[in-house]
A and B are shown apart, each in its own frame.
Chain A
Amino acid sequence: MYYLGVDVGSVSTDLIVLDERLNVKDKIYLRTRGRPIQVIQEGFKLLREKYMDEEIHACGTTGSGRSIAATLIGADVVKNEITAHSTAALEMDRDVQTIIEIGGQDSKIIVLRDGIVVDFAMNTVCAAGTGSFLDRQAERLDIPIEEFGDYALKATTPVRIAGRCAVFAESDMIHKQQLGYYEADIIGGLCEALVRNYLNNIGKGKEILPKVFFQGGVAANKGIKKAFEDALGFEVIVPDYYDMMGAIGAAIIARNAVRKTGRTNFKGFGLADSTFVSKSFECAGCPNCCEVVRIYENEKAIGCFGDRCGKWNTSLPAQTIA
Chain B
Amino acid sequence: MKITFPHMGNVYLAVKALFDGLGIEYVIPPKNSKKTLEIGSLHSPEEICLPYKIMIGNYVQAAEMGADTVLLTGSCGPCRFGEYCEMQMNLLNKLGHDFKFIVIDAPGDIGVSELFNRIAEISTKSRMSKHKKLQCVKYALDVINLTDKLDAKAHWLAGYERKREECKKLLHASKRDAARCSNPKEMIKLLKDYEKKFDNVELDLDKDPVKIAIIGEIYTVIEPFSNLYIEDKLMSYGVSTRRELTPSWWVKNMVMSPTRLNSLDLKRHSKEYLRLEIGGHARECIGEAVKAYEDGLDGAIQIFPMGCMPEIVSKAILPRISKDKNFPIMTLVVDEMTGEAGYVTRIEAFLDLLERRKEHVLSGS
* A residues apposed to B, CB below 8 Å: 64, 79-83, 106, 116-120, 122, 124-125, 205, 286-289, 291, 308-310
Contacts and interface: CB of A to CB of B under 8 A. Distances in A.
Contacts of A125: 306, 333, 335
Contacts, number: 62
B232 A308 contact: yes
Nearest to A253: B352
Given A82-B349, A287-B33, 15 more contacts: A80-B345, A81-B345, A82-B345, A82-B352, A116-B353, A117-B353, A118-B353, A119-B322, A122-B342, A122-B346, A124-B333, A288-B33, A289-B33, A289-B34, A309-B172
A288 B348 contact: no
Interface string B16-40: 0000000000000011011100000
Contacts of A309: 172
Contacts of B319: 205
A-B pairs, top 5 by smallest CB distance, nearest first, are A82-B349, A287-B31, A80-B348, A83-B352, A80-B345
19 contacts: A64-B342, A79-B348, A80-B344, A80-B348, A83-B348, A83-B349, A83-B352, A116-B353, A116-B356, A116-B357, A117-B353, A120-B350, A122-B345, A125-B306, A125-B335, A288-B31, A289-B34, A308-B232, A310-B165
A308 B229 CA distance: 9
Contacts of A122: 342, 345-346
Interface in B326-365: 328, 333, 335, 341-342, 344-346, 348-350, 352-353, 356-357, 360
Residue picked from B172, B341, B357, most chain A C-beta under 10 Å: B341
Interface of B: 30-31, 33-35, 165, 172, 229, 232, 306, 319, 322, 328, 333, 335, 341-342, 344-346, 348-350, 352-353, 356-357, 360
A80 B33 contact: no
A159 B195 CA distance: 66
A94 B59 CA distance: 56
Main secondary structure of the interface of A (DSSP, over half): loop
Nearest to A309: B172
Nearest to B332: A124
A83 B350 CA distance: 9
Nearest to A120: B349
B353 A64 contact: no
Contacts of B328: 118-119
A117 B359 CA distance: 12
Contacts of B333: 124-125
Contact of A116 (B232, B306, B360): B360
A293 B255 CA distance: 47
A83 B319 CA distance: 21
A309 B344 CA distance: 17
A308 B172 CA distance: 11
A80 B353 contact: no
Nearest to A65: B341
A310 B341 CA distance: 18
Nearest to A287: B31
B146 to A, nearest CB: 22
A64 B35 contact: no
A130 to B, nearest CB: 12
Given A122-B342, A122-B346, A125-B335, A80 B352 contact: yes
A81 B342 CA distance: 10
B352 A117 contact: yes
A44 B360 CA distance: 37
A83 B342 CA distance: 14
A54 to B, nearest CB: 30
Nearest to A124: B333
Nearest to A62: B345
Most buried by A among B31, B319, B346: B346
Nearest to B360: A116
Contacts of B306: 125
Nearest to B359: A116
Nearest to B316: A205
B178 to A, nearest CB: 15
B33 A64 contact: no
Interface centre among B31, B229, B335, B349 (most CB of A within 10 A): B349
Nearest to B349: A82
Contacts of A83: 348-349, 352
A80 B349 contact: yes
B180 to A, nearest CB: 13
Contacts of A120: 349-350, 353
Max chain B C-beta neighbours (<10 A), residue from A79, A125, A287, A291: A287
A119 B341 CA distance: 19
A310 B357 CA distance: 31
A81 B344 CA distance: 11
A286 B31 CA distance: 9
Contacts of A288: 31, 33
A63 B313 CA distance: 32
Given A116-B356, A119-B328, A205-B319, A287 B30 contact: yes
A118 B165 CA distance: 29
A118 B345 CA distance: 16
A287 B7 CA distance: 13
A150 B341 CA distance: 34
A137 B356 CA distance: 40
A124 B346 CA distance: 10
A194 B188 CA distance: 57
A141 B254 CA distance: 60
